[in-house]
């Protein structure tokens, strides 16, 4: 059995969950928790995007995400990344992108990104937000903190 096969002879699937995570919310944590049940490994990919102006650097946001992840979630790692998510996936042998969607507006936006990433060879899986977390966004959390 090759090193990328699981104990049942299937290929291990690594997933990436990209986002700005400014800050990482209970909804984000829920998506990671559910992605852990679907995939062998999950990388929380903290986006470093010059077009956005987060309140902290990519490494600081990555450290904040690491700090809230339960230590027993050994199949979850966190990385900061500047560049296309599909490029990260190709360079790190990640097979799928995970995206959380709160509402129809999110779904429309995410569908467009998914189409682009699919054209670059990386499929996307959408995980709908739990109803009790649908109103929570990083923007609303930041607004409450000020």
Give me 83's structure tokens: 């560049």
Active site residue 102: yes
Task: Provide the pLDDT for residue 142.
Answer: 46
| Residues 116 and 87 sit within 8 Å (Cβ to Cβ) | no
Report pLDDT digits (tens) over 78-98: 999 999 999 999 999 999 999
- The yes-or-no verdict on residue 48 having pLDDT over 50 is yes
Q: Which residues contact 131 (CB under 8 A, 6 or more apart)?
A: none
Q: Which residues of 87-123 are buried (b: 16+ CB within 10 A; e: fewer)?
A: ebbeeeebbbbbbbbbeeebeeebeeebeebeeeebe
As to burial, measured by CB atoms within 10 angstroms (0-12 exposed, 13-18 middle, 19+ buried), residue 60 is middle
- The yes-or-no verdict on residue 33 having pLDDT over 90 is yes
Active site residue 138: yes
Active site residue 92: no
Q: Is residue 144 very low, low, confident or very high in pLDDT (cuts 50, 70, 90)?
A: low
Give me 53's structure tokens: 């102006």
Q: Average pLDDT of 117-131?
A: 94
Catalytic residue among 2, 3, 52, 53: 52
What is the pTM (predicted TM-score) of this model? 0.84
Active site residue 111: no
Which secondary structure element, helix H or strand E, spans residue 103, and what is its range?
A: none
Task: Provide the pLDDT for residue 16.
Answer: 98
């Amino acid at each position: 059995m090759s090193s990328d096969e699981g104990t049942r002879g299937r290929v291990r699937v690594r997933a990436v969950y990209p986002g700005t995570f400014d800050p990482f919310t209970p909804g984000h944590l829920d998506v990671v928790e559910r992605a852990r049940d679907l995939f062998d490994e999950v990388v929380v990919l903290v986006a470093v995007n010059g077009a956005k102006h987060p309140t902290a650097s990519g490494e600081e946001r990555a450290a904040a995400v690491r700090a809230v992840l339960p230590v027993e979630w050994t199949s979850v790692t966190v990385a900061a990344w500047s560049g296309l998510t599909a490029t990260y996936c190709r360079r790190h042998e990640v097979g799928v992108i995970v995206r959380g969607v709160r509402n129809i507006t999110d779904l429309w936006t995410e569908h467009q990104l998914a189409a682009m990433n699919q054209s670059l060879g990386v499929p996307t899986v959408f995980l709908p937000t739990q109803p009790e977390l649908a109103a929570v966004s990083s923007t609303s959390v930041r607004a409450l903190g000020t």
